[in-house]
Amino acid sequence: MEINYQLQGPDLENLRRHLLLGLRRQRGGMIRRLGVWVFIGFAVNFAMRSYRQEDWNVYHYFMWLLPLTLFFIALIWLPIWQRSQYGQRWLEQYAGNYLLNLTPAGISYRAPDGRISFYAWPEIMGFEAADTELYLYLRRDIAIPIPRPALGDATDVDNFIRKVRDYWSAHPDNAGKTLPAMAPTPHVIQLAALAGNLLQATRLAFFINYEPRAFRVSLGIFLQLLLLNLLSIGIVDYVDAMPAPEFNIYGLNKFGITTLLMLGGVAIIGNLTLQRENMLRLLVIISASQIVIHTIYFSSWLAAERWWPDLPQVLLGLYVAAVVWTLAVVFGILRRLYPQPAPSLLFLLSIYAFFTLSLNGLLPSYRLYYPAETEDDSSEYEAANRLDVEDVFYRQTELLNEELAALHDQRQGKTDLYFVGFAGQADERVFFNDVSLARNVLDRRFNTAGRSLVLVNNADTVYNAPLANRHNLEAVLQGIARRMDKEEDVLFLYLSSHGAQDHKLSVSFWPLRLNDLKAEDLKTLLDNAGIRNRVIVVSACYSGGFLDVLKDDNTLILTASSRDHVSYGCGDFTQYTYFGESYFAKALAKNASFISAFEEARRLIEEREQNEALDSSGPQIDVGRNIAGILENLEVDTAEPGQSLAADLSFDQRVRQGRRFEQDATARDYEKKHVLPAMSAALSKSLTDCLSQHDANNENFTLVADILPDGGIENIDYQPATNTAACFGKALGGLSLPPLPDELSSLPVIYEMVFAD
């Protein structure tokens, strides 16, 4: 059915007034909705600024206020402009001859300038028969006017009205619906449409028969599905970050880029199939399906993380299953929307997978919520940020001299073992934990107490322990060489840090600028010191590259990985590396042989890597021809169970040693769980008695003591030696504590008592 008609200026003005009248009926609701959104916008922006703890500053809000200001200016200016000569002139350009053609598929519409538009029947939102014109609504504020005289007499008008409604109702997307007289007022949140789409998506996700045309499709619904998907991801991240979740703005960036990649993949599919009209429908169906899949996947993931935390292969299996499930669902969607052969559909699926999986996988992984930074984490950062770099470097000589002066001399006729730990990376405490663990085990099992020291890059120990760098390592090796018998004694050197494929050991401590340690440099340091008998353990990725450089007849070398593989366990969420825990905490703690302990540790590591579906790290060992016989002369388990670390140490040395143990992971946990609660109770009980003595002294004092393996407390000392300090020392000596963990042979503790004025 084809209709030619003409629109003049008065007709267009009537159209404008008619649409404006309809909008005025809704203006109150629109203004209320605008007010709500403005309030929400200000509230969200204020909350985010408060969260960031930024001071009130107009500049912070300018970029948000600018578009809002432009919007309200346009809202006020529009009616003024419409009544001006510019508005009338703009309206006159649409005057002229129009050609309207009704077809079963939709309406084609040719304007006076020759442009032809086509609107499918689902795009017609309303059809109003007014006194002088008929209006086909594309939106509440956009309509195609048709003068009644252009249609003929009343019978022709009725035929036209009936044909429009019949065509509209016959379209599959409008089945069971009635064409309204006015375009309905759109709801901000279309709950019925969302619920219907999610119901169909559930059928689709479980491969139950569904009808693609049953999905309600619009740009607004697509955006709401995206927000719903974002909400589901946010809830999962929030729950996983409990009990102290912290919002991460970069998680929104990741979600936005992921959405753009999905849009890119769908756009290419639409262009290749020459069916661009299905692009929005494809986006809506995929988005609804993702919500269903994500809800089930993330729920399973949270459950597995809670009930099987030691089985990461379960999480990996869930991820692989979710990827396969998603691709299978998308393949089913493509098969229903695009009638193509199976190979062609698989090609389209590969495009979607390339954008949403391959390219998306190149992006850094940001979650919407992370566990809030702990007090320890924030204090480490603040301590590093406050470092006086010049003071740190000038203190190194003093710290090294103190450490070396505290070392015991070698014993004639006995093979002594000297331990040096090197924790090269300051960003992750796990390396310091590894070195502390190794020293504790060797002190307890191989009598290195008094002959062990550590070089550490850590903000909390920077003023009482030497840095881990090449110059300090050289000074320590030279100092130990002067104390040991180079023919019969043995050096045990343990280095723990990140490694690289060029076989350098990472040495890093921001804001200090330190140089990485190469295997060749380490060999030069050892050779120059003249230390002959060596046990060198390197726990780092690609640490096998150190083996060929360092091996000789008098050296035992152990590495956590081969030269071309990574090792595992570094990071902020592990206490020890896989190698450090397996070798020192498990194997060497019960084995008298460094070599046998390595074989046991390698077996434990291989089992763990297999259980966690990790590539083999391939720990390496090289036993020099002479070193095995020398190691047989080491004393093992000769230290008495109650022997402490206090022997031959001055008070100041014991204080410094105790401060270092405060940063040891095992020692810190033991003190937090057992020592501090017991001390608080004892001090509360004895506080009145100690201060009520006739000769009580309120002078501040420092108290040091050693906790023995059985939990007993000995070697209590204090300075200055006041009666009050002696009273508190007696109260401390009467405490009964649980036995120390196996990793600790003795635990020096420090208490500084400060009395308020």
Domain range summary for the chain, segments of one domain joined by +: 2-174, 191-371, 416-631, 651-753
Q: Say whether pLDDT at 54 is over 50.
A: no
Q: Say whether pLDDT at 560 is over 60.
A: yes
Q: Say whether pLDDT at 603 is over 90.
A: yes
> Could you tell me which of 461, 454, 453 has the C-alpha nearest to residue 392?
461
Percent of the chain having pLDDT more than 70? 86
Q: Which residue has the tokens 């060999």?
A: 523
* Radius of gyration from C-alpha coordinates of the chain: 38
**β partners of residue 534:** 491, 555
Q: Say whether pLDDT at 646 is over 60.
A: no
- Residue 151 and residue 98: Cα distance in Å, rounded? 13
Q: Say whether pLDDT at 641 is over 60.
A: no
Averaged pLDDT score across all residues of the chain: 83
Q: Say whether pLDDT at 23 is over 80.
A: no
Helix ranges, 274-311 (H): 279-307
Q: Could you tell me the pLDDT band of residue 349, with boundaries at 50, 70 and 90?
A: very high
What is the rounded average pLDDT of the residues 238-243?
A: 83
pLDDT value at position 642? 44
Q: In sequence order, what are the residues at sequence separation of 6 or more whose Cβ sits closer than 8 angstroms to the Cβ of residue 263?
A: 283
Q: Which of 24-33, 183-192, 525-534 has the highest mean pLDDT?
A: 525-534
Residue 735: CB atoms within 10 Å: 17
What is the rounded average pLDDT of the residues 183-210?
A: 81
Q: Could you tell me the pLDDT band of residue 484, with boundaries at 50, 70 and 90?
A: very high
**β partners of residue 108:** 101, 118
Q: Which residue has the tokens 């919520």?
A: 369
Q: Say whether pLDDT at 711 is over 80.
A: yes
Q: How is residue 357 annotated by DSSP?
A: I
91 versus 622: the higher-pLDDT residue is 622
What is the rounded average pLDDT of the residues 282-290?
A: 92
Q: Say whether pLDDT at 213 is over 90.
A: no
pLDDT value at position 53? 47
360 versus 558: the higher-pLDDT residue is 558
Q: At what angle do helices 312-337 and 279-307 cross, to 10 degrees?
A: 160
- Residue 757 and residue 349: Cα distance in Å, rounded? 76
Query: In the structure encoding, which two tokens stand for residue 293, read together?
Result: 């899949």
372 versus 463: the higher-pLDDT residue is 463
Q: Say whether pLDDT at 661 is over 50.
A: yes
- Residue 695 and residue 726: Cα distance in Å, rounded? 12
pLDDT value at position 535? 96
Select the CATH number that applies to the domain covering 2-174 from these four: 3.90.226.10, 2.30.29.30, 1.10.357.10, 3.50.50.60.
2.30.29.30
Residue 585: CB atoms within 10 Å: 22
Hey, is 632 helix, strand or coil? Answer: coil
- Residue 420 and residue 388: Cα distance in Å, rounded? 26
Q: Could you tell me the pLDDT band of residue 622, with boundaries at 50, 70 and 90?
A: very high
Which H/E stretch holds residue 495? strand 490-496
Give the tens place of pLDDT for each residue, 418-474.
999 999 998 888 999 899 899 888 988 888 888 899 999 988 788 878 999 999 999
Q: Looking at 185-194, 233-242, 311-320, which range is the least confident one?
A: 185-194
Give the tens place of pLDDT for each residue, 717-751.
888 888 888 888 888 888 888 888 877 777 888 88
pLDDT value at position 28? 47
382 versus 450: the higher-pLDDT residue is 450
Q: Could you tell me the pLDDT band of residue 677, with boundaries at 50, 70 and 90?
A: confident
**Whether domain 416-631 has CATH 3.40.50.1460:** yes
- Say what the pTM is: 0.56
Residue 418: CB atoms within 10 Å: 26
φ, ψ at 453 (rounded to 5°): -150, 160
pLDDT value at position 507? 93
Q: Could you tell me the pLDDT band of residue 624, with boundaries at 50, 70 and 90?
A: very high
- Residue 241 and residue 263: Cα distance in Å, rounded? 30
Q: Strand (E) positions, 400-449? A: 417-423
Alpha carbon of residue 572 to chain centroid: 11
Q: Say whether pLDDT at 660 is over 70.
A: no
Hey, is 584 helix, strand or coil? Answer: helix
Q: Could you tell me the pLDDT band of residue 129, with boundaries at 50, 70 and 90?
A: confident
Q: In sequence order, what are the residues at sequence separation of 6 or more whose Cβ sits closer than 8 angstroms to the Cβ of residue 530?
A: 481, 486
pLDDT value at position 538? 96
Q: Say whether pLDDT at 276 is over 80.
A: no
**β partners of residue 689:** none
pLDDT value at position 383? 61
Q: Looking at 195-204, 325-334, 564-573, 600-609, which range is the least confident one?
A: 564-573
Maximum alpha-carbon separation in the chain: 126
Q: Looking at 224-238, 319-333, 743-757, which range is the least confident one?
A: 743-757
Secondary structure string (H, E, C) spanning 215-279: CCCCHHHHHHHHHHHHHHHHHHHHHHCCCCEEECCHHHHHHHHHHHHHHHHHHHHHHHHCCHHHH
Q: Could you tell me the pLDDT band of residue 685, with boundaries at 50, 70 and 90?
A: low
